[in-house]
Amino acid sequence: MSDSPSDTLSDGPLPGAALPWRATVLTLYPEMFPGPLGHSLSGDALSRGTWSLEARQIREHGLGRHRNVDDTPAGGGAGMVLRCDVLAAAIDAAAAPDDPRPRLLMSPRGKPLTQSRVRALAEGPGAIIVCGRFEGVDERVIEARNLEEVSIGDYVLSGGEIAAVVLIDACVRLLPGVMGKHASGVEESFEGGRLEYPHYTRPREWEGRTIPDVLMGGNHAAIARWRAERSLAVTRARRPDLLEREEP
């Protein structure tokens, strides 16, 4: 893929169809997209025009003959910082002032991404996603362009591109028609504040381990109770913080 100002990666919706969920990614490495998003559920949905992806090269707005995008941090220190004027120009070129999509900055200091936030994003028109690099982004552009900082975990990546892929994938799979069954997006981890219950399939016995009898008995009420109990037990053992959030 070329480093053109705008690489649109979808043919768009069919005539008469509803507007697709739109993701615009601002990055120094547009060739990283669609990457995994071009495969499986998200890739199929992208080819159908259920959603669209545009990867835009921040460096197109760089300064001078070398298209510089960064500079040394004020006050000293290691690394480089993305310039506010360059990044603001890239954002302004990517979205009109009245664009209703939230402007997100993938950042380790951002608010942790949750399933409820993903669902809210999936129900909206899409997102404008800025992928940081180097030591970070000039604070002034975060404030001036109202960027919402989002983190996918308590660790640091080389840049925001992988985090952007994670966020987009989490949203796209919830779009209508992307998953085969509606229940696939409801009965899973973090929906309802719990981790998902264990799953089993054939063969019934494997290496001395068997599928729990309750799942083979055909009693749907008993199965539902078992799944709820196991969901609670797994959550209590692995993520007790999720249960603590339920407390008044």
| Residue stretches of the annotated binding site for S-adenosyl-L-methionine | 132, 152-157
CA 210, 214, 220, 221 dihedral sign is negative
Alpha-carbon distance of 106 to 152, in angstroms, equals 8
* CB proximity list for 88: less than 8 A, separation 6 or greater: 141, 144, 145
Q: Hunting for tokens 């009420």 — which residue is that?
A: 221
Q: Cα(69)–Cα(82) distance, rounded to whole angstroms?
A: 6
Annotated binding site: 132, 152-157
Report the C-alpha gap between 5 and 9 in whole angstroms. 13
Summary count for the chain: helices (H), strands (E): 7, 10
Q: Would the CA dihedral through 113, 114, 120, 123 be positive or negative?
A: positive
Give me 94's structure tokens: 């990517």
Q: Supply the DSSP symbol for 168.
A: H
How far is it, in rounded angstroms, from Cα 62 to Cα 84? 11
82 and 51 in contact (C-beta within 8 Å)?
Answer: no
